[in-house]
């Protein structure tokens, strides 16, 4: 339990740092363009500690659920002292405002790229060993052939695989299967594929220098004619070259962007299935909240695996989360950064048309008209976020 709690702490600290890095992007870009930024805080609520340097107050608040930067004159609704108006956000050129708004997501992307690059260069890619030394086993018997091939998450009530029930462990070396000697994973997998579900089998394994014989009965996966034992090949880690690590950054971004787009597209279908027993086999099994991600980080840190697997999972999970958050923030919906970007672009388009017609610049968008839309999107995001957290608490799935 203490180790799992450490995993939760690692994830939550990483999440908080990611949020603050996002705000740092806004802050640095705004200062670079001479905008007045008066506050930079970690957390929300009552102030626990702060200090002022120059014109900016830095500090920590009581609720560590994020952070914020206060830039003067972010919208037409903000009240700004007349002497500060020339340095307000809204008076800066459009291209500068766009850079400031996009800087938060940019920092997420930079962090994700560094994490993926560091994992590839420092830890490497997992490569199947093709030995009969067992790796970490699946946690359940798949509900269908599709779940087996897709690696779908396991529901809470799923049956444990026969290998686990028989006491097989990661690190065991299988020397024979049903009386047939095996020395490679290919031989073991081929021998296993000839046996149907429900058939008793016998395996001989080496563990800590001792030979053990175990007996079990293969499970049946609907739609798959082969019996299911529930074992996995062991892996080794091969460090990537500098250029291959750069390629991994590109492929990592492509996979996460594609997966994020797919998850967002499946949200309407996922919501009705969040609290169903078969959640893991539906679109709802592909979405999770920070609670689900934190729980999986805790489970991974506590798992009986090598440190490379643990570090790789945690760092790549944080990288994927940063890419997703960066993309989500760029959606053209208020109150997210992308919504403000869309407003600035609309202002510039109107100004361009006004110049063509030799008319004065129509100026800033009236945010009073956008408040209902912004509030509506905010409420939807909060409700969905809380719903997803509740689902992960009472009907969790394992994304790892």
Examine the domain organization and report whether 294 and 176 are in the same domain.
Answer: no
- For residue 372, give its domain range: 97-124+240-400
Q: Is 31 within the bounds of a domain? A: no
Say yes or no: 186 and 275 in one domain: no
Based on the structure, what is the number of domains in the chain? 2
- pLDDT band at residue 399 under the 50/70/90 scheme: low
For residue 165, how many C-alpha atoms fall within 13 Å in the half-sphere facing its CB?
15
Q: pLDDT (tens digit, 9 = 90+) per residue, 145-157? A: 777 776 666 776 7
Give the predicted TM-score (pTM) of the model. 0.80
Question: Is it the case that residue 370 has pLDDT exceeding 70?
Answer: yes
Domain's final residue, options 215, 237, 259: 237
Whether 202 is covered by a domain: the verdict is: yes
Give the CA-trace dihedral at 59, 64, 67, 70, to 10 degrees: -50
Note if 23 is an active site residue: yes
Domain check: are 168 and 249 in the same one? Answer: no
Cα–Cα distance for residue pair 15/66, rounded to 1 Å: 8
Does residue 259 sit in the same domain as residue 374?
Answer: yes
- Which one from 4, 23, 85, 126 is the annotated catalytic residue? 23
CATH number of the domain at 204, please: 2.30.42.10
Tell me the percentage of the chain whose pLDDT exceeds 90: 52
Q: What is the mean pLDDT of residues 168-172?
A: 89
Encode pLDDT of 106-135 as tens digits.
999 999 999 999 999 999 887 878 889 988
Q: Note whether residue 39 is domain-resident.
A: no
- Among 220, 237, 254, residue at a domain's last position: 237
Given 170, 205, 237, the domain boundary residue is 237
């Amino acid at each position: 339990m203490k180790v799992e709690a450490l995993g939760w702490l690692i994830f939550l600290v990483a999440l908080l740092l990611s949020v603050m890095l996002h705000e740092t992007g806004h802050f640095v870009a705004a200062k670079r363009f001479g905008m007045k930024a008066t506050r930079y805080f970690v957390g929300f609520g009552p102030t626990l500690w702060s200090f002022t340097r120059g014109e900016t107050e830095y500090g920590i608040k009581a609720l560590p659920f994020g952070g914020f930067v206060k830039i003067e004159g972010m919208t037409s609704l903000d009240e700004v002292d007349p002497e500060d108006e020339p340095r307000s956000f809204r008076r800066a050129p459009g291209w500068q405002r766009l850079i400031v708004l996009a800087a938060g997501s940019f920092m997420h992307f930079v962090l994700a790229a560094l994490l993926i690059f560091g994992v590839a260069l420092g830890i490497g890619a997992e490569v199947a060993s093709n030995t009969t030394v067992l790796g970490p086993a699946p946690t359940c018997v798949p509900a269908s052939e599709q779940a087996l091939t897709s690696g779908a998450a396991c529901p809470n009530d799923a049956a444990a695989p026969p290998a686990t029930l028989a006491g097989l462990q990661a690190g065991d070396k299988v020397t024979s299967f049903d009386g047939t000697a095996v020395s490679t994973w290919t031989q073991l997998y081929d021998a296993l594929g000839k046996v149907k579900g429900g058939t008793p089998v016998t395996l001989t394994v080496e563990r800590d220098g001792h030979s053990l014989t175990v007996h079990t009965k293969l499970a049946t996966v609907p739609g798959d004619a082969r019996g299911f034992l529930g074992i996995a090949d062991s892996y080794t880690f091969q460090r990537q070259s500098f250029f291959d690590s750069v390629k991994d950054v590109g492929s990592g971004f492509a996979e996460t962007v594609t997966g994020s787009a797919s998850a967002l597209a499946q949200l309407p279908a996922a919501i009705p299935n969040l609290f169903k027993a078969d959640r893991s086999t539906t679109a709802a099994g592909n979405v999770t909240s920070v609670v689900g991600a934190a729980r999986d980080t805790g489970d991974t840190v506590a798992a009986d695996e090598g440190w490379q697997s643990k570090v790789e999972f945690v760092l790549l999970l944080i990288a994927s989360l940063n890419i997703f958050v960066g993309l989500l923030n760029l959606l053209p919906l208020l109150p997210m950064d992308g919504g403000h970007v869309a407003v600035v672009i609309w202002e510039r388009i109107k100004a361009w048309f006004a110049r063509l017609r030799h008319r004065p610049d129509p100026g800033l968008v009236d945010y009073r008209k956008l408040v209902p839309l912004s509030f509506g999107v905010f409420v939807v995001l909060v409700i969905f976020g809380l719903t997803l957290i509740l689902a992960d608490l009472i009907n969790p799935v394992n994304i790892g």
